[in-house]
Structure 1
């Protein structure tokens, strides 16, 4: 099959590596320093030295009948690529990033027949162009809207499941992930874990975000997060306090505060005046 990966950061590079290793034709669309690295290597290169050959482009070929264009940019970057996606001859377009906004806008751009969404259960970083990634293989694995693509990803070594209500899933995940990301950014900046007061503030923000999901008419899903939402605030704070002391989570904070800021702003826009705890932790 023919894949185009738009946004080959850690997540996009992991998909590109796995799909290429599985025998698919993969083209990565990049810019800036990442484009230069990929043009030089003509491959996704892991920190271990493993390589998977890919094609490299500075722009999406609108005439190519890609089986799938996988879009792994940040939510704040997606508007810049929407015109190219709308004009593309791709058979399917799957967006894959954190978002709190309704999905209908993206669906309308590419057409409901081509639209798909997914979320990666992958921890990945790029250090000087070299990929380090861990693919979650049990529990909360990669989640997508389409059974056929779940099978393709699974066959490529990325276990995936289908969820019928991806908008609820994404909004729940945003409410859960924002405090975790803020904890990671804070811990990375100071190279030390959160204080208890900071952990409690983040726990209250998580609870507020999950209440907002329900208020907007969505369901708290999947079940592990639904169970977490029923825990007392100090227990959630303990969870966040502990996470901030794990080196792998702290390292993810190197990505900076842009993504949690974007998600908090989207949540605040969905319920003006009703998200003081979330705005209080905005980095």
Structure 2
């Protein structure tokens, strides 16, 4: 397949490199020092599953430089989603199916609102990977899972084609017959992990070991479940407790990308995580005080480290 990967960070870089190694024609859209490093030496991925290197010709600086494309993978930060959708509409890739591997529950609504509704496949990924240095992505474990599925039943054929392509590349992929629920299931966990590790500024082991911060983690996830159910998503009432038990199985040192971004002084995806829960809760008249407090605490850091700090 001819595959465009918009965003060559940990997620896009890893999955794009795996797809390229399997013989697909992959073009990354990157920027800055990362772009220049890939142009010099290709993108290198270090992983417990092997090392992958793409060719220096595999990257462009703009969506406008893409040619005809069979599949677009979106892996940018959430604040860039609208811009990506607008640029795709006027590019040579404008008719390709689009699969977002971004965090959150808002991203597909943005894409579906600006592209044709039939184009957008629902998707969610599970991976720990990051840019170690320009041109180099580090994959931390053997976990590299993608769940995808169509929002419209008439697109199941395309969903299966993409599924087969991912599996042929050695990626752990599966199709869901309720992709919206699958996305929300990850979102519940992600909001809890990101909110607590960022506000407490400690990894999950510290959060879950203290009685009060453990209750905070559970409450944040329970609020997110309540918002999901009010939105019509079929989550079990006990899902937050199940996710809390799952948190007990995680490595004690595990943290979140939002915690890492906070520590580095980078912009935060807070408005689409706890902030997104608060916004949806307000529209649905569902209480979300714990997520509201997290949003208030981290508000000064949303655009990066405050001046003078």
The TM-score, its normalising length taken from structure 1, stands at: 0.83
Task: Please tell me whether residue 124 in structure 1 is matched to residue 115 in structure 2.
Answer: no
User: For residues 84-163 of structure 1, what are the structure 2 equivalents within 5 Å?
Assistant: 84-90=87-93, 91-101=96-106, 103-129=108-134, 130-133=136-139, 134-136=141-143, 141-145=145-149, 146-163=159-176
Task: Report the Cα offset of residue 228 of structure 1.
Answer: 5.9
- 1:10-89 matches, cutoff 5 A: 10-46=10-46, 50-53=52-55, 55-61=58-64, 64-89=67-92
1:229 aligned to which of 235, 239, 242: 239
Is 1:169 aligned to residue 177 of structure 2? no
Deviation at 1:157, TM superposition (A): 1.0
8 Å Cα contact 1:99-1:263 kept in structure 2: yes
1:267 maps onto 2:277 in alignment: yes
- How many residue pairs align between the two structures? 270
Does the aligned pair in 2 maintain the 1:71–1:93 contact within 8 Å? yes
SS in 2 for 1:5: strand
1:163–1:2 CA distance, 2 compared to 1 (3 A): same
Report the counterpart of residue 246 of structure 1 in structure 2.
252
Describe the superposition over 1:105-164 as per-residue Cα deviations: whole angstroms up to 9, x where unpaired: 422422133222311122212211322223536xxx410112211111011011211123
What is the RMSD computed on CA atoms of the aligned residues? 2.9
Shift of 1:183: 3.6
* Contact kept in structure 2, 1:201 and 1:281, CA below 8 Å: no
Q: Cα deviations across residues 187-214 of structure 1 (Å, max 9, x unaligned)?
A: 7668982233122111111111111111
CA contact under 8 A between 2:13 and 2:43: conserved in structure 1? no
Provide the rounded CA distance (Å) in 2 between the counterparts of 1:177 and 1:227: 18
Distance change >3 Å, CA 193–CA 241, structure 1 → 2? farther
Q: Following TM superposition, by how much is the alpha carbon of 1:85 offset from its aligned partner in structure 2, in angstroms? A: 1.1
Aligned residue for 2:234?
Answer: 219
Give the TM-score, by structure 2 length. Answer: 0.76
